Structure 1
Amino acid sequence: MNQQELFEAEHYINKEILYKAPYNAYFALLYGNKAKNKKYRQKIYEVEQLSFVLKNLYYDWDNYISQGIFYRPNRRIVNLWSIGLCYVDLDTYKVKELQNIPTHAIIDLIFAYCELMNIPEPSLVIYSGNGIYLKWLFNKAVPKGALPRWNAVQKKLVELFKDFGADPQARDASRVLRIPGTTNTKTGLKVEIVIEKPDIRYDFEKFSRQILPLERPEKVIENAKIVLPPSSEKKPSAKPYKLRVRQSKKFSFTPAQLWWDRLQDIRTYVQMRWKGRVPEGYRDIVLFLSYIALGWIEPVNTLIYGLEFEQLIKEYGITMPRKEIFAYMSTAKKRLAQMVKDKKEGKGYDPTQHLYLYKTETIIEMLDIQPEYQQHLKTLISPDEHKRRKRERDRKNIREKRRREGVRPIEEYLKERKKNKELLRAEVKLLRAKGLTIKEIANELSISERYVYSLLKG
């Protein structure tokens, strides 16, 4: 399976949805060659150009391609459209116990570990010229709305494969990975697919439910052998994932999911009300809320956090000096820095201890979101809008229930009634043309004389 097939498969791009979108979809290509003093450059292409791009690569250079699809020509998470896989980047050469072990033996260890730990086996194993990529492909692309859930799965996968050298910095949806068939100029070795199982495709929700409850044992590798504590030798039972807020039918609804949806609502609101250019009176609060939202979705590091925020500043059409913007964000910035510091020191990543908490009603008031705009939003809605949507859902459920019970929809009934009335009118006029009286026509058709008059008049 080559990169072209990987990228165009249904799990990577859901074309039925993608090409009905009111905008194009994009992927990113990063290429360069340090050995030849060729600096790395990034180019953004439309997905339809993929075949041409892959045929014209410099295969003796370093070539990377984005794993996600973006709805703007910018490789930032805030512009994500969908992603069709989960992945882990294993720097096995950094693990002392694995440094003198052949790649194929390491891969055998990985699959044995997956079997023991009840981890779904990867669909693809790619040798990157130095390390190993593990990729789990999905039967349908994961939409941008499920990004917080996807992030949680990525974080857990990195934790599970920590002893195989999993790179904790390489787990975001905007990541680029090496393209099979190209060269790793650091080692001079080719990037190649070692194992491919094209029939293995996972449903993302089932996959996430299996991954998230798993716990990594204290010691995994010793002298290039898998060593698990006695309690971990059996496959762990897949306990239900404990949710922090509530559980929807499709995805777990966590604070990260809530703030990601709020960020999408803010961006939608800016486009609807101000055509993408935030006026002076609202700049500070829009930027402040967006800054907080990014903190809740846990960026990999502060550099990526800054790049994501910079993209939002441009999207909002704000041309203020950056010093002035970050001066207003100073308190929130300090809180974020402390949160990142606590994470590095092993104190965990808990946004509730550092980031601001706002009720939905407060945000609606701060942004002055009127009811006509709330109809197009997902989370920033008032109790009245919530009740209106509930009434619509209830009416829809009643209609569906009546249809299941065999009751015809009112539209079909009225349409058939109108058709029958026209046929009856034609028959009445025909009998009248034959010379029958009103009373005779009524008796002939078993209808009232008054109805005969109305049909003739109509």
Structure 2
Amino acid sequence: MALDNKTTENKDFFNTGCISEAQQQPFTLQRLNTQGHFDQVHPRPAHGVVVFWEKRKPSGGWQVHRADSPLISQFLAAQKGQEDRYFTVNQFHHWRRVSLLSSLRTCYVDIDGCVDIDKALQLLIAARLPAPSQVVYSGRGMHLYWLIKPVPAKALPVWQLVQNKLIATLASIGADPVARDCTRVLRLCGTINSKNGAEVTAKVLTGKRWTLHQLSDAVLGERPEWKPSNKPRSARIRSLGAAREGRKYKGSIYHRWYLVYQDLMKIADWYFLGGIPEGHRDTWLFLASVSLSWFVPYDRIEEEIIKTAQMWTPGLTVKEARRTMRPIIRRAQAAMRGEKVVWNGIEVDPRYRFRRSTLYNWMQAIIPAELLPQLRAIIPDELRAQHKKEADAGRWDDHYTKTGVRVSNEDKRTTARQMRAKGMTYQEIATEMDMPLSTIARWCNKMLI
């Protein structure tokens, strides 16, 4: 980690006395320079490119670099002291678009108008959420980072749920509800905020780098371990809501629309040479836009949709694409304001949602038989039943052993117990094995205190 020569002993940075003993973690308070900030967010190896933005450059000021480029250190050194320099906190294939996402590197919260880290920590403690890995003072607010070990784009639905929970928790101190997407650019440490001339500074808090599995357990609640039941299926379904706490049994709405988006991209890839067939382009673009509305903030949906239209629906004009996206953007704006609509007697998010059968009916004319087995969400009833049967069979292959662990985890439990027998603490074992602390405690047949 690259550090500047400023002292790290400033104990007045914030009052750690407000942190409960159960949640307190050691804070290093190390100050980061430009290189150190970048290295923490984008450790090697690289899995794509980082996009940089110079806000005031007339030509647009966008540059793309690999995090492991031999020239990156020289480039970062040149950014120090410059005005309004930003970078993506995740990595991409060539450009910062959801469809080009390569790896997720951090969860973040952009807080406007508040630089009191104590307030943020107190809210996180009250919600029983983990402290950030680092804080960046942006000149007129602060950015909180929860660093994660790189995960591929398919983890986006879980990442999005974590983002939403962190932002909602810190909303009362100015967390920006729009800044929740994976394509966001944030200010780079060591640069200058031109609005007030303040230098962007960063300090390490816990310095912890989570796996997304660990962070999602800490933020969303630990996922319950699956156990077979002798109850009739109808009784199991009725009891799911009451029996389980924390995460929902079924996949999130983000997971579903990410699967829909993946299917739409697979269909588009099939027609790579000529684009989506005529007569179906507006429908395909509409569904792709709806999918993006669950991951892209409303102020960037238009840009994403137009680029998608230009690539996959060459027969549609920009005017036609804008007409397609207009109702989608309106609903995304309503969702950002926290508005709800009534659907089947309950209040839900106003963004579009469609049944699987509806999606398939709209798209089946352009889904080749050879492609259908590769799809997950835009499929007919019989294929859905087949997928479920295969999933159930796989679940039973990894059946519960009635000894507190699944078959696939027996070796891990044995390893954990051997490490415990050698005198290692639960925390040391959890860190070494990259597993939740509560799981290690349960496997070692002890009560977690």
Contact 1:336 1:355 in 2 (8 A): no
Within 2, Cα distance between the matches of 1:383 and 1:344? 36
Q: SS at 2:210's partner residue?
A: coil
Amino acid at match of 2:64: I
Q: SS at 1:280's partner residue?
A: coil
Q: In the alignment, does 2:226 pair up with 1:201?
A: no
Of the candidates 296, 299, 310, which is equivalent to residue 296 of structure 2?
299
Q: In the alignment, does 2:56 pair up with 1:45?
A: no
Change beyond 3 A, Cα 1:336–1:59: closer
Of the candidates 305, 308, 311, which is equivalent to residue 312 of structure 1?
308
Q: SS at 1:357's partner residue?
A: coil
Contact 1:209 1:240 in 2 (8 A): no
Of the candidates 191, 196, 219, which is equivalent to residue 187 of structure 1?
196
Q: SS at 1:122's partner residue?
A: coil
Structure 2 residue aligned with 1:241? 246
Of the candidates 83, 89, 92, which is equivalent to residue 70 of structure 1?
92
Contact 2:52 2:87 in 1 (8 A): yes
Structure 1 position 213, deviation (Å) = 6.6
Of the candidates 147, 151, 161, which is equivalent to residue 137 of structure 1?
147
Within 1, Cα distance between the matches of 2:63 and 2:90? 15
Amino acid at match of 1:318: P
Q: In the alignment, does 2:352 pair up with 1:355?
A: yes
Change beyond 3 A, Cα 1:280–1:155: same
Within 1, Cα distance between the matches of 2:391 and 2:331? 44
Structure 1 position 340, deviation (Å) = 2.6
Q: In the alignment, does 2:79 pair up with 1:57?
A: yes
Amino acid at match of 1:57: Q
Within 1, Cα distance between the matches of 2:274 and 2:147? 35
Within 1, Cα distance between the matches of 2:396 and 2:348? 41
Amino acid at match of 2:219: I
Q: SS at 1:78's partner residue?
A: helix
Structure 1 position 136, deviation (Å) = 0.7
Q: SS at 2:279's partner residue?
A: helix
Change beyond 3 A, Cα 1:128–1:389: same
Structure 1 position 137, deviation (Å) = 0.9
Structure 1 residue aligned with 2:417? none
Amino acid at match of 1:288: F
Structure 2 residue aligned with 1:420? none
Within 1, Cα distance between the matches of 2:281 and 2:44? 36
Structure ID, larger Rg: 1
Contact 2:164 2:180 in 1 (8 A): yes
Amino acid at match of 2:146: W
Q: SS at 2:263's partner residue?
A: helix
Change beyond 3 A, Cα 1:137–1:362: closer
Structure 1 position 204, deviation (Å) = 2.0
User: What is the TM-score normalised by the length of structure 1?
Assistant: 0.64
Structure 2 unaligned residues grouped into runs of 5+: 3-33, 223-243, 400-406, 408-449
Change beyond 3 A, Cα 1:4–1:278: farther
Within 2, Cα distance between the matches of 1:133 and 1:85? 12
User: What is the TM-score normalised by the length of structure 2?
Assistant: 0.65
Contact 1:62 1:178 in 2 (8 A): yes
Contact 1:32 1:39 in 2 (8 A): no
Within 1, Cα distance between the matches of 2:119 and 2:350? 39
Structure 1 residue aligned with 2:160? 151
Structure 2 residue aligned with 1:79? 100
Superposition pairs of residues 202-221 of structure 1, within 5 angstroms: 202-212=210-220
Within 2, Cα distance between the matches of 1:272 and 1:304? 27
Larger % of helix: which? 1
Contact 1:276 1:315 in 2 (8 A): no
Superposed CA offset, 1:244-281 (max 9, x none): xx44xxxxx12232122111111122112444622323
Q: In the alignment, does 2:138 pair up with 1:128?
A: yes
Q: SS at 1:284's partner residue?
A: helix
Structure 2 residue aligned with 1:169? 178
Superposed CA offset, 1:153-173 (max 9, x none): 222222211232222222221
Structure 2 residue aligned with 1:344? 337
Amino acid at match of 1:201: R
Contact 1:158 1:167 in 2 (8 A): yes
Of the candidates 285, 288, 299, which is equivalent to residue 287 of structure 1?
285
Contact 1:63 1:182 in 2 (8 A): yes
Contact 1:63 1:178 in 2 (8 A): yes
Structure 1 position 293, deviation (Å) = 1.9
Within 2, Cα distance between the matches of 1:91 and 1:361? 41
Q: SS at 2:147's partner residue?
A: strand
